Amino acid sequence: MSNGDKMKTACVTGGSGYIASALIKMPLEKGYAVKTTVRNTQASLMKLIETSDDMAKNSHLKHLQALGPLTVLRADLDEEGSFDEAIAGCDYAFLVAVPVNLASGEDPEVHRQRVKEVIEPAVRGTLNVMRSCVKAGTVRRVVLTSSVSSVYFRPELQAGDGHVLDEDSWSDVDYLRAQKPPSWGYRYCASKVLVEEAACRFAAEHGVSLVTVLPVITVGAAPSLNVNTSVPACLSLLSGDEVALGVLKVIERISGSVPLGHIDDLCRAELFVAEEPAAPGRYICCGLSTTVVELARFLAHKYPQYDVERNLRTVDGQLLEKPRACLSSAKLVREGFEFKHSTLDEIYDNVVEYGKALGILPK
């Protein structure tokens, strides 16, 4: 970088999380200055990582500082204006943070009362960060991390084959309400749809250049050792975790496949749509659509030391031999993005070792 060039600055919200930690690492390696946010009440990074309650959750942030200029700031989605300092002076803002209790389980009887307590904060928190982007006056592009769950909850996917879903597809919130899925599932999927819609309206009203990236089930090692849903699910056929395996089964039943992507491709895609003159809008980031059965065959062959066949027998109900539907990333590819992980072997390149580090698999 020449003396006349200004170092680019990016803000990644939710730095404690799995995806955010990997997304912080990539721009640091490219020579960016990065700011990230955490909910912890300690403003000092040293205090943050030395407090016993937060050591495991945030220690990776100190290690990431060795890669380049990383500033850790406190911010809370529920607090108006709390992201102003983190966004100030940034060229790009990556919105990854979500309310901490978004996917927590609960008794279905109290679900209706809890919906407003979870979905509304998700919308309000996203708009809170976007208002900080407008105040900053320097942000060239906002990249919102959503989920393909905002795409595939549709009644027509329950029958027939050959469905191809792209960015024009939206999950049907009324259908979700009618089906009464597990409460966390409704809250999570409905919140993604409603957050996207609210963010799009805000961007149009305030002249914000907004791109939304829709990740699938994300696999791969990340700096953070905080366990999220996708990694245990992807390793469930090896670990024997029946609850995590049930997540894969439910996704396959509802979406018509098990859509997978590598975290490196996801982070590369997020930086790509931020830096390149890609059209605003939604972008699905899916490396491969597979099934639980296909995944089991692959894992049994690659990792014969695990009893994949026994773990698969714990699954009740019918499984697909091949995908009934697939999620298309053609729009992202047309913009010039290239996936580096598009086979099961490539997608699972380092996730087993990561699973051992997380304690999901025995060392």
Each residue's pLDDT, cut to its tens digit, for the chain (363 residues) gives: 444 467 899 999 999 899 999 999 999 999 999 999 998 644 444 444 444 455 556 788 988 999 999 999 999 988 999 999 999 999 999 999 876 544 444 444 444 545 555 678 889 999 999 999 999 999 999 999 999 999 998 887 766 688 899 999 999 888 777 765 554 566 778 889 999 999 999 999 999 999 999 999 999 999 998 877 899 999 999 999 999 999 999 899 888 999 999 999 999 999 999 999 878 899 999 999 999 999 999 999 999 999 999 888 877 778 888 999 999 999 999 999 999 999 999 999 999 999 999 999 998
For the chain, helix, strand, coil in percent to 5 are 50, 15, 40
Residue 43: predicted pLDDT? 43
What the block records as the tokens of 71 is 């500033």
Asked if 225 and 236 count as a contact pair (C-beta separation under 8 A), the reply is no
Q: How far apart are the first and last CA of the chain?
A: 43
Q: How far is CA 157 from CA 69, 151, 250, 315, 326, in A?
A: 46, 11, 13, 21, 10
Nearest to 86 by CA among 98, 74, 77, 96: 74
Residue 58: predicted pLDDT? 74
CA distance 317 to 163: 22
Half-sphere exposure of 39 (CA within 13 A, CB side): 16
CA distance 309 to 323: 20
The structure's pTM equals 0.90
Q: Is 102 helix (H, G, I), strand (E, B) or coil?
A: coil
What are the DSSP E strand ranges found in the chain?
Answer: 9-12, 33-38, 70-74, 92-95, 141-145, 163-165, 210-215, 217-219, 258-262, 281-285, 288-290, 325-327
Length of the chain: 363
